[in-house]
Structure formats: structure tokens, C-alpha cells
Structure 1
Amino acid sequence: MTDQADPAPLGPGTLTWRYFGDTRMLLVGPRAAVLQNMLPALGQGVLDHSVFFAETFARLKRSAGPILNTVYGGPRSAATGRQVRDFHREIKGTMPDGTRYHALDPETYYWAHATFLDTLLYGIETFIRPLGEAEKRRVYEESKVWFRMYGVSDRAMPEDWEAFQAYWKRMLDEEIVAHGTARYGVGYVTKGLPAPPKIPAPVWRAVSPPLDAVARFVTVGGLHPRMRELLGLPWSDADERRYRRFAAAVRRAGRLWPLLPEAVRYLPQARRAFRRARASQKARRPARARR
């Protein structure tokens, strides 16, 4: 894939636009980030090159914006995607077994993208509504358009939805491991959330227990069972029942979701894209229709 011909961006008619920037996706927790770091090459790249360990939440915030803008950037989507790609050019090194890794290896880069697709599908079905097979195929085809925005070879990308399902099963069964980077990423599940700057220690000790409990519940509940198994995170049948009740309550509340302000329902990148789309639609309307 070269930079010469930009692919057409995703737009208002896509399910990805409709759901990826929905704030209910935040309830999935760090599923994608943890999964990414369970691929040895990717986890090693983060370990060797990232500030993830020094400023975890700031790093996640900086990463999320460009990814969202690759989906919602309209004519700028491909340029943003190439910027995201170029951030990774120097992320390379040697694995503990002596093999080389590079963040732009197509298999490694595609895995990172695949975790966002998985999280999108999981988030929709868990907290918003079930998806039919045709809709899953549609989201998968949209994910192929999205991936091509990065200007990275798509040789590792499965041809269709059925092939992706086989790929996903193989990756979970055979390729992911409990890499130290992934373990660190869920460390607060057992150790508690780090105290934010400027909050006095006595205050944090008083308010952190309920916050830790919520973070633990959302994080571990949002992980794939295979991830919990590899990372050694306890999750009982009772926990699973509570999580399912929680998810069902969120889905039921979805009937009221359209009544909330857009600023509550969508992340800023999505809201800006929606405003652009509405303005463009209004500009294309014949003058007589605008009267």
C-alpha cells in the first residue's frame, strides 16, 4: 500500500461512525490496550520504547485521539492515519529470544487494529444491542477501509468476516501471552488505582476503595475469558452474573440514550465529524428546500 492514492474515508452511513465514538464504549475498559500488549512483539515494543509505564493514562489519552481521528477525520482521515503509522517507524528492537521486531511489521500492526475491531463489536453487543451476521460483516468491511487509512501493507488482513473469525480464534488460542506490559496494564486491578496528582493522600485513601472496586469490575468484566486465564485475573460465576446484569441494565437504559445531549453520548472527535456532516448536508440542499 502506498501513500499515492488515499482510500475514501468512512462516513455517516457506516456503523463504525455510529458506534466507535459512542461514550458507552468506555464501559468496555482497557480491553483493546491489554489485548494489544499480549502479542509478544507489540508488548515488547511498548516495554522498550513507550512512556506507558511512567504516565499510563496520559499515554492512552494521546493515543486515542489520533485513532478516533482516523475514523472520523473525513478528508483528513488518511493523512491522520499515516501520522499514526509514522509514530511507529522507530519502534523496533530485539526480543528476549534474539529475534527482531518492528511495530510496522504488517502482522504486528494489523493485530493492533484487530483489537479495536474486536472491542467495537464487543462493546456494541454488550452495552448497546445485538448485531446480526450481516451487520458484523458490514462492520468488518468498514474495518478494512479504516485499516487502509494507515498506509501499511494489508497482507495480514483477513479477506472477509469468516476469515477474520478464524484469524481471531488462532490469535487467542496460539499467539497471545501474559506479557509483562499487559500485566502492568491491569496491575491496578489488584493494587488499586494510582493516586492522581495534587489529591492529598488522606483524601485519596478515603475515596479510592469504591473507585478501585468499579475499575476492577469494569476492567476484568470487559476482558475476554482467555485474557483473564492468561493474566491470572480472578472472575467468579457470581462476578459474571453481576456483569451480565450490569450490561443488561445499560442496554435497557439505551431507550433513553437519544434524549441525552450529544456531548454526553459521543466523544469530541465524533461530535466534530457529525457537525461537519450536518453542515455539508445542509449546504447541498437546494435553496428552495432551505426556505
Structure 2
Amino acid sequence: MVSQTVVPRERSEAEPLGPDSLTWKIFGSLYFAPTGLFLGMVQNMHPGLGAGVEFHSTLSAEFYQRVFRSAYPITGVVFDGPRAAGTAREIVDYHRTIKGVDGQGRRYHALDPGTFYWAHAVFFVQTLRAGELFMGGLTEAQRERLWREQYQWYELYGMSMRVVPRSWPEFQEYWREMCEKVLEPTNAAWEVYHLAEQVPVPIFPILRSTPKPLWDRVIRPFGARFYQFLTIGLCDPAIRKTMGFTWSEQDQRRFEVWCRVFAVLNRWTPDEAKYFFPRIRAGRRRANGRRPADLAPPEAPELLWPAPELRDRPQHYCPVHADHGTDLPSKFRQLTGF
């Protein structure tokens, strides 16, 4: 297969991804979840992005609320269909005031084209690795197809395309150079990595009745070590070197066993369970005619919102276009995706 370059389109011509895309099958699925810590850590290894998080975020105070809250608009850019471009512009707007000077005197701005694209590039590699390692594998043609889809996905943001690689081989070279020459072990990257050790309460309802001593002394420490193990396994050798991680041949063999386990589970998991996140479920149901096309997508419930004193700050996502005045059945569908 000969790789071809893409031709950037006008902003008004950007088209959302649909149910025929490979991205819809991988991004945000249940077996995409084990890559979450990799995403947060590697994104924040970029000096500009890491500084923005370090100086403008409440990451340590509300990490998991922020992760689940942010997942609504982020997944919306892929699954919102005709509304996807509006969701993308919403995300851009959250980043306009995130700027300053880092601890080494370097200026940063979240909307610097290279910084903003890096965040997206890691989402793409996260999707790529989830498909390759946890969901049964990808052919080279599928890898290039995913790359083309992420280019189409990025066009929705309306950001400059001058920093975006124009072919799959160019992207591979871009990724290698970023990993080897640009990424740093930033404070924000380490903070994300260690937050796996600090889950205060069970996230999944099925575990809520777990006795606190059992959670604190057994389940949480084991879960954190396992999640960090998977994260290191997903990393490129250059990233491991930069962060100072060790990785043996035995670690690699154990990692490959878990990859096979996830791939088998993925094959047998029903789609309704696999695509459980409300925004994703709503998009899939809209696409197959089981959800009204004019119903706004689900937004983060109030329990995930920022603290009241932070909700009017422009960098914090707080539902902005959910219609909270609708009748109760419509409101239920809007908030849950059903």
C-alpha cells in the first residue's frame, strides 16, 4: 500500500466522523479505558501542555471528576455527528486563557498550534494502541486509515493545520521526534502517573460497598500498580527512558499476556456494554435511528461539575448547551444517552 498525502480543506468543509469509521469502533470503548493513564501522562510530558496543566488546573483536587467531565465534549467531537464541529469549537474556547511562563522562563499557550496538536496526536496514538494491543490488532492499512480519520477529526477544531503531518509516514516520524527530542518528565506528567495511587473511593458502583480497609490496603494499591504497569507497557522506549521507567523482557511477556486477555474479552463483550459512556452511546443510537436526531447530546451530570466558585472560569467545562428546562423524559434521555 502506497501512502498518500492529504490536502487540507477549508474550515467550513470539515466533516465529522461517522459510524462507518474505524475510530468509532475503538475510541472510547470499554477496552480503550486501560490506555487512559498513558494518555494523561504522555500529553503532559509536552512542556507547554504540562505547564498549562500545572499552573491552570485543579488536577490534584478533582482528578477523576475532571477526567469523566472532560470526556463528554472530547468524545463528542467524534460522536456528535452534525453537532461535532460546534463541540470542537467549544473545546478550543476552553483553552484561550491558558497561557503564561513556565518555571524555566519559557512562554506557553494552550492554543499554540504545536501544543494543541500534540494533545490530539496522543489521542490518536492512544486509539491506535488500544486497537493494536487490546482489541485484536490492526493491519497496516487500518493504521493508515485511522491516521486519515484522525486528520479529519482534527480539522473540526478549526486550528492551524500547518503543524499537522500530511501522511502516515510523516506522522510516524513526527511521533518519533517528539518522543526522543521534545518530551520531558514534567511535574504534571508525574502527577498524573501517581494519581492512579490516590483513587479515594471506588469509581464503579459495583464496588461501592467494598469495606474501606479492603479498598485502601488491597484493591486500590493492586489496581494502581496494575494500571501503571499497563501504562509503562504502552509507552515507547524513548518515553520510558525520559520518565526513568524500567521495563524487562519478563515485563514485556506479562504485558503481552494481558493484551491477549483483553483482546479475547473484547471479542465477546456486547456492544451495549462496550460502548457504555453516555455521549458515545447517544451518538451510536442517533446514528442507527434509536435516538432523536434533534435531541442535544448528553452532558456531564452535576456531580462531575467543577466547584461552584470555579464554574464561571472559561477554562472549566461545565454543561453549556444542555436544555435543563425540557420535560422530564427528554431531560433523562439527554443526561443519560438513553
**TM-score bin (small chain):** 0.7 to 0.9
Q: Percent identity at matched positions?
A: 37
Asked whether the equivalents of residues 29 and 222 of structure 1 are also in contact (C-alpha less than 8 Å), the reply is no
Deviation at 1:68, TM superposition (A): 0.2
Moved more, 164-173 or 26-35: 26-35
- Residue aligned with 2:267, SS: coil
1:118 to 125, 131, 136: 125
Counterpart code for 1:202: P
Q: Which residue matches 1:267?
A: 277
Q: Which residue matches 1:139?
A: 146
2:247 to 228, 235, 245: 235
Distance in 1, matches of 2:132 and 2:145, equals 15
Distance in 2, matches of 1:238 and 1:29, equals 23
Counterpart code for 1:274: R
Asked whether the equivalents of residues 180 and 239 of structure 2 are also in contact (C-alpha less than 8 Å), the reply is no
Structure 2 runs not aligned, ≥5 long: 1-7, 203-207, 294-338
Distance in 2, matches of 1:129 and 1:146, equals 23
Deviation at 1:251, TM superposition (A): 1.7
Q: Which residue matches 2:190?
A: 183
Asked whether the equivalents of residues 78 and 150 of structure 1 are also in contact (C-alpha less than 8 Å), the reply is yes
Counterpart code for 2:247: W
Deviation at 1:161, TM superposition (A): 0.8
Asked whether the equivalents of residues 23 and 264 of structure 1 are also in contact (C-alpha less than 8 Å), the reply is yes
Moved more, 7-16 or 217-226: 217-226
* TM-score normalised by length of structure 1: 0.87
Distance in 2, matches of 1:264 and 1:253, equals 10
1:217 to 229, 250, 263: 229
Alignment root-mean-square deviation, CA: 2.7
In the alignment, structure 1 residue 277 sits paired with structure 2 residue 287: yes
Q: Which residue matches 2:213?
A: 202
Q: Which residue matches 1:63?
A: 70
C-alpha spacing 1:77/1:167, structure 2 compared with 1 (3 Å): same
Asked whether the equivalents of residues 99 and 109 of structure 2 are also in contact (C-alpha less than 8 Å), the reply is yes
Counterpart code for 1:62: R
Distance in 2, matches of 1:106 and 1:152, equals 7
Distance in 2, matches of 1:28 and 1:4, equals 31
- Residue aligned with 2:12, SS: coil
Asked whether the equivalents of residues 275 and 281 of structure 2 are also in contact (C-alpha less than 8 Å), the reply is no
C-alpha spacing 1:252/1:194, structure 2 compared with 1 (3 Å): closer
Counterpart code for 1:193: Q
Q: Deviations over 1:17-74 (max 9, x none)?
A: 1211211001223112111100101100100101112221112222222110000000
Moved more, 244-253 or 264-273: 264-273
C-alpha spacing 1:206/1:164, structure 2 compared with 1 (3 Å): closer
In the alignment, structure 1 residue 50 sits paired with structure 2 residue 61: no
Asked whether the equivalents of residues 24 and 265 of structure 1 are also in contact (C-alpha less than 8 Å), the reply is no
Counterpart code for 1:195: P
Counterpart code for 1:242: R
Q: Deviations over 1:180-221 (max 9, x none)?
A: 1101111256xx334339987634235433333333333333
Q: Which has the higher helix share?
A: 1
Asked whether the equivalents of residues 29 and 218 of structure 1 are also in contact (C-alpha less than 8 Å), the reply is no
C-alpha spacing 1:243/1:206, structure 2 compared with 1 (3 Å): closer
Counterpart code for 1:8: E
Asked whether the equivalents of residues 6 and 78 of structure 1 are also in contact (C-alpha less than 8 Å), the reply is no
Asked whether the equivalents of residues 37 and 228 of structure 2 are also in contact (C-alpha less than 8 Å), the reply is no
Counterpart code for 2:226: V
C-alpha spacing 1:233/1:275, structure 2 compared with 1 (3 Å): same
Counterpart code for 1:29: G
